[in-house]
Amino acid sequence: QQHSPDLICFQEVTPNIYKILKESSWWDGYQCSLPEEMAAARSYFCMQMSKLPVKQFRRKPFSNSIMGRELCITDAGVGMGKTLVLATSHLESPSPAPPKWDQRHSKERVAQAKESIQLLSKSQNVIFCGDMNWDDDLDGAFPLQAGWFDAWRVLRPKENGWTYDTKSNPMLRGNRPFQKRVDRFVCHLRDFIAVSIDMIGLEPIPGISYRKEKKVHNETKTLVLPVLPSDHYGLLLTIKGR
């Protein structure tokens, strides 16, 4: 509502969050990629919203995903007979579990990123964004092809861009230390220029808190923590025509 973007990508939306968003005053100004009955049948999902004329919403499941992850794509009309392709995904998550506690799913995540870029490179104007769960130390450089660029690296090269940050985000105060640029915008643009990228959702929602139990020196303490719009910071990309 504050930023009124033309296009929105959400990840890890639950049916309950879908209902909350649908009741928001800004909802009717957008087309949503996911009908309510389809949202109700899934435990969590990605979805896209557009103020621009939508030519097509489409989805491509990743064949290697054990978590039901997929690539969601919106073909949006931007005038002059041109199309802007907006894609989002929630790439395979690290999920350490017994017995080895080493299930990082890097191989699956990298393959999904490569598959997405390969598919999207067929279009002339593409923005691919979302929760990539990317860890440069583990996954290596994001697999961009010629003509693609990482918007944060280009527009804010001196800033770390950590969208998941247990130090700066008070909502995550009870979690183990973790600071990574897991969320990204990567672009392949012929007819547009990336102007700016900003981190949003940095402030707690007034009047809302939650309780989290944390073990400290063999003692369980209950922390009362603020609630932000998400445990990840959001990203807002602004583009303009060439």
Residues 194-206 have a mean pLDDT of 97
Q: Which two tokens stand for residue 28?
A: 């009717």
pLDDT in tens, 96-148: 655 554 568 999 999 999 999 999 999 999 999 999 999 999 999 999 999 99
pLDDT in tens, 149-195: 999 999 999 999 999 999 999 999 888 899 999 999 999 999 999 99
Cα–Cα distance measured from residue 198 to residue 203, given in angstroms and rounded to the nearest whole number: 14
Q: Which two tokens stand for residue 73?
A: 């794509």
Query: What pLDDT, on a 0 to 100 scale, did the predictor assign at position 96?
Result: 60
pLDDT in tens, 9-46: 999 999 999 999 999 999 999 999 999 999 999 999 99
Is-above-0.85 flag for pTM? yes
Question: Per DSSP, which regions of the chain are E strands?
Answer: 7-13, 31-32, 45-50, 54-61, 70-77, 83-90, 125-131, 149-150, 164-165, 179-180, 183-189, 192-200, 209-216, 219-226, 234-241
Residues in the chain, overall count: 242
Q: Which residues are 165's β-sheet partners? A: 179
Assign 95 a pLDDT band (cuts: 50, 70, 90). Answer: confident
Amino acid sitting at position 130: G
Query: What pLDDT, on a 0 to 100 scale, did the predictor assign at position 198?
Result: 98
7-202+231-241 falls under which CATH superfamily?
Endonuclease/exonuclease/phosphatase (3.60.10.10)
Query: What pLDDT, on a 0 to 100 scale, did the predictor assign at position 101?
Result: 47
Helix (H), strand (E) counts: the chain: 5, 15
